[in-house]
Amino acid sequence: MSQGSHLTRFDCTGFSAKTAAEVKNFSIANYMKVNERHRMDRFSQYAVAASIMAVQDAGIIVGENVQEDRIGVWFGTAIEGIESFEESYKSLLEGGYKNLYPFATTTVISNMASSQISIALGAKGFNNCTVLSCASSANSIGEAYRVIQRGEADVMVAGGSEASLTPLGIGAFCAMGAISTNPDPQTACRPFDKNRDGLVMGEGAGALVLESYESAVRRDANIYGEIVGYGTIVDAFHITSPAPGGEGGVRAMELALWPNLVLSGVK
């Protein structure tokens, strides 16, 4: 069953898409000082909220049980601050550049989520972002894992955030023909159904706390799992379609498994 709902973020009259998975009843004021809101696009707000919750769940207190310069952030996004971009463009058309908001640039650029997370947490270590379409979050987690492997951080907050339920964001996928035209929120999202007719766009953020084993044991952390490999590759076939033979996926899995296969003597 789909957890989407009727699209309410804007008037979707004339759009083929009528449903979306919207974040409901969200307020950044529940997570940080509300006066920072005007400097952040919605995608950055979601990222900060998810990261704060993840760090709290991990029992990390930056500056106490983890050094400030040993905790970093690697966060991904695909369409970054599109809502702020649309608002700024509207202001420009209505009143010229003098009508633009002073933070018009900094709200939209891709690394603002990772930057705002670092500011909110006081994390002064490694910081980066990944923009790789649908793979942005997964690659961010993998690259954060490698940062810890290299010894450049003890802890990394990693994940991704998206907030593209806007006229341009929805409209572009409608024009592509990739979005579901099913008006029923309960049945619109069904990716493995023979009667599927496209994706349902959503929004939100997810964050993981990655930590070296030594650091986690030292502070008696609750360990949920272990990352033992990561592989990323491109099949250089098409901008939206994978190669028919699945070579890219196979190669990525081989790269993720290879270090462990070598250590176990498997060839």
Read off the pLDDT band of 230 (50, 70, 90). very high
Checking if the pLDDT of 145 tops 70, the result is yes
Domain match, 239 and 115 both: no
Asked if the structure places residue 122 within a domain, the reply is yes
Contacts of 211 (CB under 8 A, 6+ apart): 58, 148, 154, 155, 156, 221
Asked if the structure places residue 171 within a domain, the reply is no
Range of the domain at 43: 31-165+201-225
Domain match, 104 and 219 both: yes
Domain match, 232 and 161 both: no
Domain match, 205 and 247 both: no
Read off the pLDDT band of 69 (50, 70, 90). very high
Is residue 128 within 8 Å of residue 112, measured between CB atoms? Answer: no
Contacts of 34 (CB under 8 A, 6+ apart): 28
Q: What is the CA radius of gyration of the chain?
A: 20
Asked if the structure places residue 5 within a domain, the reply is no
- Output the domain CATH number for residue 81: 3.40.47.10
Checking if the pLDDT of 260 tops 80, the result is no
Q: Kindly report the backbone phi and psi dihedral angles of residue 116, in degrees, each rounded to the nearest multiple of 5, phi listed first.
A: -65, -35
Read off the pLDDT band of 1 (50, 70, 90). very low
Domain match, 42 and 156 both: yes
Q: What is the pLDDT of residues 153-195, one digit of tens each?
A: 999 999 999 999 999 999 999 999 999 999 999 999 999 999 9
**First-last CA distance in the chain:** 43
Question: For residue 9, what pLDDT is reported?
Answer: 93
Q: How many domains does the chain have?
A: 2
Q: What is the pLDDT of residues 74-110, one digit of tens each?
A: 999 999 999 999 999 999 999 999 999 898 999 999 9
Task: Measure the CA–CA gap between 46 and 153, rounded to whole angstroms.
Answer: 24
Which range among 42-46, 158-162, 236-240 shows the weakest confidence by mean pLDDT? 236-240
Asked if the structure places residue 196 within a domain, the reply is no
Q: Percentage of residues in the chain with pLDDT exceeding 70?
A: 96
Question: For residue 265, what pLDDT is reported?
Answer: 54
Asked if the structure places residue 21 within a domain, the reply is no
Question: For residue 2, what pLDDT is reported?
Answer: 56
**Token representation of residue 137:** 């979050």
Domain match, 234 and 216 both: no
Domain match, 206 and 256 both: no
Domain match, 205 and 87 both: yes
Checking if the pLDDT of 256 tops 50, the result is yes
Domain match, 242 and 220 both: no
Domain match, 48 and 134 both: yes
Domain match, 246 and 221 both: no
Checking if the pLDDT of 135 tops 70, the result is yes
Asked if the structure places residue 36 within a domain, the reply is yes
Question: For residue 56, what pLDDT is reported?
Answer: 97
Domain match, 241 and 209 both: no
**Average model confidence (pLDDT) for the chain?**
92
Question: For residue 120, what pLDDT is reported?
Answer: 95
Asked if the structure places residue 137 within a domain, the reply is yes
The residue that leads in pLDDT, 112 or 39, is 112
Question: For residue 200, what pLDDT is reported?
Answer: 95
Asked if the structure places residue 218 within a domain, the reply is yes
Pairing of strands 71-76, 155-162: parallel
Checking if the pLDDT of 115 tops 70, the result is yes
Task: Measure the CA–CA gap between 116 and 207, rounded to whole angstroms.
Answer: 14
